[in-house]
A and B are shown apart, each in its own frame.
Chain A
């Protein structure tokens, strides 16, 4: 339905196949992020669940009410759900390097894909908190002059993050455009 306005030059229609799924760009290699991120996030969520469980323990021990015990079951269920959700979220996160753009996609329920041209690169952030460092992972983010560009790639192996950072800055310099 949108053929006319989308390809102003009619001869372009004989080019590469037209994409139909915005979240899967044609002819690129999607690289997943490290599964260690899922482990790290599960640990953080686990610690929070443990704190909540300790708080629940107080009424169980002090009073002789029985209903707080159900809280443990609820908590266990919630943690199981979070476990599953984290796994799905982490496995949905991927990035791809095209010759002139970085593609980042994320989310299962709320899906999102960002296309960032290397020529628009202003700076690259590589971040790793204490837990991430213990797991040997880091996050890489490419910043442009727009505040809306959210191209964070969390959970890359530290070496992969460093090489990606170098590749990004190198390409950014090579293809630098003005604002």
Chain B
């Protein structure tokens, strides 16, 4: 189907069968390879035992009743084969029932054998498109396409599995549709990519070794060794195994996810590629990032490395482990320049005053304590709550962004564009009330970042609440279009350094 033929949004069951595509026939096998492997293993073992049963003096096959044993084995084997056939038939049927269709405005997915599902997503509501390849799928040249729309619960649409070329072509078409880009021909043009930074392997390894989890692993191991030496028995060694497995698993997953991390920019947005066994290519269109956080664990400070995470509607509702979900990491580790460059792409306009350089303001947010460069810090009374970090906790407002800085040990700087504010709140407990403090919270879409400016002076919090409501009101009124290529040229934010430039769509 050509994209020009713009069919109207499909009505379930009525839209006609034109344009419906199926996923790759190998899909069921790849989806259930673990189950298949287990079944295959037991089948092979049973067959082997059956063949060898007479020759071995196995207690389960007594020699006098050998015929009975064979019959039981045949019945059992037949049952297994039957079940297997039923499962295979169900998987084939389920594959047949899974179909998708793309029009200029919508993506539709139908699936389910007993419980049918027909899901329809509006492309202008698209938040992100990921192409991922689990290890086995990669061997077969297949890929999974995940389309995030902002909805509560499991709202994403997953097309799995497709051949790599189909997945990439679909991604381009979806992004072109989401951008409102007009094009002719069957194949949407791939947005030109501009590679621009990658995480070197030594740095990734070093960043993982210098993390809190590694330190924890070392400390617990040393503690257990000390216990072993002191008690003279090896019993404590048993305690080390679960700890090492748990923390080691976290570190390993951080390594595999950060492996080969590359960031590219394109008119369709930021493009991230990463993964060792399972590879993933994410595309986050402009204006879809709801909040950005730069953070620096204590051990990275000498090297001045930073991590960049984002809130993107749709990503946040996915499962995430203790080390954060992989989708919301924009940069697992990078120099300050790298981190700022990535940040500048997703939040291109910092909106600082005429006489100021944005870099200076952000540096103040990353390093400084106390007031300065327009930051408003917590008053001394806040030391009753944050007796180390109260001097650093604070915020700064610019024309377009709210910056919230916090943390003495792990330094953090959160940026939320005024246009992305969902709602605001101020809270005050009894002790805060006595000390004349209040905490300001800004509600963003679900994700790793929940922006809170803790323990501000109560009058400051009052004024911030009022002013921020007004600023988000104005930003909403001036917000750019959801379809970022519609009616605009090819103006793109200049991402070479952190400096103000007009956001796309203006």
- Contact status B374-A22, CB under 8 Å: no
Q: Tell me whether A178 is interfacial, beta carbon within 8 Å.
A: yes
Known: A6-B464, A145-B150. A114 touches B445 (CB 8 A): no
CA distance A16 to B97 in the complex (A): 62
* B426 adjacent to A23 (CB under 8 Å): yes
The interface stretch among A29-37, A42-50, A105-113, A159-167 is A105-113
Q: In the docked arrangement, what's the CA distance between A115 and B421, Å?
A: 11
If over half of A's interface residues share one DSSP class (helix, strand or loop), that class is named, otherwise mixed; here it is loop
Q: Which residues does chain B contribute within 8 Å of A120, judged by CB atoms?
A: 422-423
Separation of A175 and B441 alpha carbons in the complex (Å): 23
B467 touches A177 (CB 8 A): no
A21 at the interface (CB under 8 A from B): yes
Residue of A nearest to B403 (CB): A5
* B463/A179 in contact, CB under 8 A: no
- What are the residues of chain A within 8 A of B433 when measuring CB–CB? 111
Q: Are B462 and A21 in contact (CB under 8 A)?
A: yes
Knowing A19-B466, A20-B459, A25-B466 touch, does A5 contact B397 (C-beta < 8 A)? yes
Across the interface, do A115 and B444 meet the contact criterion of CB distance under 8 Å? no
Q: Is A1 an interface residue when CB atoms closer than 8 A count as contact? A: yes
Chain B neighbourhood of A61, CB < 8 A: none
Q: Which of A84-129 contact B (CB under 8 A)?
A: 100-101, 109-117, 119-120
Shortest Cβ distance from A52 into chain B, in angstroms?
A: 28
B211 at the interface (CB under 8 A from A): no
Given contacts A22-B465, A117-B472, contact A112 B150 (CB under 8 A): no
Most chain-B Cβ atoms within 10 A of its Cβ — which of A6, A18, A23, A120?
A6
B428 CB within 8 Å of chain A:
yes
Q: How large is the interface on A (under 10, 10 to 19, 20 to 34, 35 or more residues)?
A: 35 or more
A residues in contact with B472, CB < 8 Å: 117
User: Which residue in chain A gives the minimum CB-CB distance to B427?
Assistant: A112
Q: A20-B459, A149-B422, A179-B150 are in contact. Are A144 and B473 (CB under 8 A)?
A: no
A4 at the interface (CB under 8 A from B): yes
Indicate if A2 sits at the interface (CB-CB under 8 A).
Answer: yes
In the complex, the answer to whether A179 meets B420 with C-beta atoms within 8 Å is: yes
Inside 8 A of A18's CB, which chain B residues have their CB? 463
Give the docked Cα–Cα distance between A5 and B468 (Å): 12
Q: How far is the CA of A96 from the CA of B460 in the complex (A)?
A: 22
Given contacts A1-B457, A5-B374, contact A145 B445 (CB under 8 A): yes
Most chain B C-beta atoms within 10 Å of own C-beta, residue among A23, A145, A147, A150: A145
Residue numbers in A under 8 Å from B494 (CB-CB): none
Q: A110-B429, A115-B423, A117-B476 are in contact. Are A146 and B445 (CB under 8 A)?
A: yes
Q: Which 8 A-B pairs have the closest CB atoms?
A: A22-B462, A148-B443, A146-B422, A146-B443, A22-B426, A5-B374, A177-B476, A116-B423
Instruction: Pick 8 A–B contacts, CB within 8 A, sort by A.
Output: A5-B376, A22-B438, A22-B458, A110-B430, A114-B423, A115-B425, A115-B465, A146-B445
